[in-house]
Amino acid sequence: MRDYDSMPNIDWRNDKATLARIKEQISLQEPVIIILPKDFKLSFDSAACGCENKAEIQFSCTPQPLFSALAKDNDLPSLIELGDLAHDKG
């Protein structure tokens, strides 16, 4: 089981500073845990996002379609940038 205690936690704020911190972690190919607001909508089409499903948990999703779907549902276009960057960094 993976230890998440050493991973940085970043509270999502729709601002340039938060986006820059998350982008830096992704650019370094380092893990990051994004703490989303309580009203954040997490419903998405897991098949369209290339996710594998196991015991009602989606994992190994393709970043671009996942972040695009979440961006659209939550009116946060900056999430698309994160999906593109995650895709580019592999």
Domain annotation covers residue 4? no
pLDDT tens track for 8-32? 999 999 899 999 999 999 999 999 9
Domain annotation covers residue 30? yes
Domain annotation covers residue 31? yes
pLDDT tens track for 28-87? 999 999 999 999 999 899 999 999 988 888 889 999 999 999 999 999 999 999 999 999
Domain annotation covers residue 2? no
Q: Contact, 50 vs 61, CB < 8 A?
A: yes
Question: E strands within 8-63?
Answer: 9-11, 33-35, 52-54, 57-59
Question: pTM for this structure?
Answer: 0.82
Query: In angstroms, rounded to a whole number, what is the distance separating the alpha carbons of residues 47 and 65?
Result: 10
Q: Which helix (H) or strand (E) holds 21?
A: helix 16-27
Q: Contact, 46 vs 70, CB < 8 A?
A: no
Residue reference for tokens 């938060």: 18
* Count of domains forming the chain: 1
Domain annotation covers residue 3? no
Domain annotation covers residue 81? yes
Which residues span the domain enclosing 19?
9-89
